[in-house]
Amino acid sequence: MKRYTWPLLLIGLLLYTVFPNGCANTSTAPQGGPKDTLPPVLMETFPLYNTIGFPTQPGKKHTISFTFNEYVVLKEANKNVFLSPPLSKPVETKIRGKSVVVTFPEDLDSNTTYSLDLGAAIADNNEGNLMPQYIFSFSTGNTIDSLYNCGTVVDAKTMLPLKQITILFHKDMSDSAVFKFRPRAAAKTDAWGFFTVRNLAPGEYRVYAIEDLNNNNLYDPNGNERIAFLDSLVIPERVMSLDSLELQSLDMKDTLNCLARRSDFQLYLFKETPTRQVMKKSERLDDRMFYVTFSAPYPQVDTIMAQGLTQEDLLSQTNLTRDSIAFWIKRQATPDTLQLFVHYRKTDDSTKLLVEAIDTVRLPRPKPKQTHDRNGNAVEVKDTVAKFDFFADADKVEQNGIVMEFAYPLQQAVFDSIRFSSTDPKKQVKAEPYTVEQDSTNLRRYVMRPGITLLNGYEYEVKIPADIFVDINGNTNDSLAKRITLPSDETLSSITTHLQNVHGTYIVELVNEKRDKVFREFTVHADTNLVFPYIKKGKYSIRISNDANNNGMIDTGSVLERRQPEKVLLYRFGPDQTNESYLIEIPERADIDQTIDIQSMFQ
């Protein structure tokens, strides 16, 4: 170190000791005035908005620049900057001084009007204030197409609006267009599920909405993407104008204006049922149990054989759509490795037709459960009890009954030994009747139903003696006693719905505000009164689904078959079209009557 450096260091140290607060604080932002809350302001575009004759020379990359009043940054430009009609590759964006430059990676089509949506991609450099949505239009021809259409997209099951869903307007009317070709116009939905497709040319369009997970503007059914489509063709008629609310950049918190926008149609997004049939998975969960699943529902299965076992050695159960089959081995001795031969009809990848196939799989015995003894040695843990779950929700026991679900199928059950009793407010105990039935879809589940009407103020008890159940492992159950009391909270409310003009099968559910929890569900086939009891204060919706084929579930749609999913609707409690009109606010201690005309609702 040079000699004259030491005096400078000593002077600096002395100044810091005497005036420590005068030194710069590198960990705290400068206190220099109010926080900047203003978004960037667009000062200039090149070329101009709505320019015509935009160049399309083959092989040459053309650009559009946007200049702002301050330095800006780009946020997720690949997702937020959107060109309609889209190219096969996303547009390229970069910062150049106070400008954002957009480059087209491939040739643009001739005589086409484009709209470039900058979305939520641009923010100021200091505070990250986002620029409001800005859409730049230009044409490679001599005119600007100026028609537009609006709509909304909702989830076909929950009826909730969906954002960032891609809307596709196709001129190609073939059923395969959405799989193979890019659309002639496109847009994205906002937080309200609302979209506006701009700069449309006159003519007829086939309209789709897709959950474009890979951002290629094509529908990929094998990539878990969801889709919606309109049954009829769309002919746009509305002309773009500055005073159209649907074309303005709105704050998504501005509920009044967001809901005031006119929607031409509504699309219901659904997940298609897979059609490609292969054996998807097989697994052995323990010595006595294994399962096989298929990629598509209702597979054509001839036989599933396990080497060394006969059909009499196996007990099987399928799910509702028969694409999952569980097996239990009834024999006590089981092989270390199961070799399965699955004879079924498999989709041929070249012809797309079902062909006869035999898949062979080996399922080794899984490692046994282990614990350690007092000396630290590993010891195998074996089940010695027939385990089962017991469900008796106090607020649903009247409808769902008392459910017992066993870990393994039973080979013996003495249900008559169960004791069901009531204790009245005077503490008098009485044996009560009941019935037990096996679930038709789950051979390990049994439903016990009281033969009386349960009453508030009474206490009920179920006593299950030991050793009345024997499962296929030869294990017996432990004893169990459970008490059940109906909810007695005086603040709880109820809804009674009077369903009229019911023609067909409908599933009626009371759901929460987010529509992701079902409090109670009924299936109805005729006019009836339904009671939804024990409701806590809050907001609820009544969701009604048309089970058109009476199979106990809501079937999805198919694009190629032009089949919409079975219709699901929310009952509208108010006259307006807002999301709030689908909600009913339940106060405490209320008994609410609601009449619902099913025929009118579904028309």
- The CATH number of residue 394's host domain is 2.60.40.1220
Q: Which of the listed residues 422, 451, 484 is the one where a domain comes to its end?
A: 484
Q: Which of the listed residues 91, 119, 139 is the one where a domain comes to its end?
A: 139
CATH number, domain containing residue 220: 2.60.40.1120
Residue 389 backbone class (left: φ over 0; alpha: ψ -120 to 50; beta: rest): beta
Single-letter residue type at 417: S
Using one digit for the tens of pLDDT, what is the confidence trace for 484-505? 999 988 899 999 999 999 999 9
Q: Kindly state whether residues 528 and 463 are assigned to the same domain.
A: no
583: nearest Cα among 591, 574, 593: 574
**128 part of a folded domain:** yes
The conformation of residue 385, written as its DSSP 8-state character, comes to B
Q: Kindly state whether residues 153 and 261 are assigned to the same domain.
A: yes
pLDDT > 90: percent of the chain = 74
What pLDDT does 3 receive?
40
| Residue ranges for the chain with pLDDT beneath 70 | 1-34, 575-579
Please confirm whether the linkage preceding 85 is cis (ω < 30° from 0).
yes
Termini Cα distance of the chain = 91
Q: Kindly state whether residues 355 and 401 are assigned to the same domain.
A: no
**36 part of a folded domain:** no
CATH number, domain containing residue 503: 2.60.40.10
**456 part of a folded domain:** yes
Q: Kindly state whether residues 508 and 586 are assigned to the same domain.
A: yes
pTM of the model: 0.81
Contact 61, 54 (CB under 8 A): no
Q: Kindly state whether residues 151 and 263 are assigned to the same domain.
A: yes
Q: Kindly state whether residues 157 and 264 are assigned to the same domain.
A: yes
DSSP 172-238: --STTHHHHS--SEEEE--TTSEEEEEEEPSS-BEEEEE--TTSSSS--GGGT--EEE-SS-B---E
Single-letter residue type at 255: T
Using one digit for the tens of pLDDT, what is the confidence trace for 150-199? 999 999 998 999 999 999 999 999 989 999 999 999 999 999 999 999 99
* CA atoms within a 13 Å half-sphere pointing along the CA-CB vector of 373: 5
What pLDDT does 579 receive?
66
Q: Which of the listed residues 269, 297, 330 is the one where a domain comes to its end?
A: 269
DSSP 549-600: T-SSS----BTTTTBPPPPEEEPP-SSS-SGGGG-EEE-TT-EEEEEEEHHH
Q: Kindly state whether residues 465 and 556 are assigned to the same domain.
A: no
C-alpha–C-alpha distance, residues 464 and 445, integer Å: 16
C-alpha–C-alpha distance, residues 192 and 257, integer Å: 11
Q: Which domain holds residue 327?
A: 279-364
Q: Kindly state whether residues 502 and 584 are assigned to the same domain.
A: yes
What is the domain count for the chain? 5
Using one digit for the tens of pLDDT, what is the confidence trace for 511-551? 998 888 999 999 999 999 999 999 999 999 999 999 999 98
**165 part of a folded domain:** yes
**22 part of a folded domain:** no
What pLDDT does 27 receive?
36
φ/ψ of residue 377, rounded to 5: -85, 140
What pLDDT does 430 receive?
96
CATH number, domain containing residue 336: 2.60.40
**257 part of a folded domain:** yes
534: nearest Cα among 584, 486, 573: 486
295: nearest Cα among 321, 258, 269, 313: 321
What pLDDT does 368 receive?
79
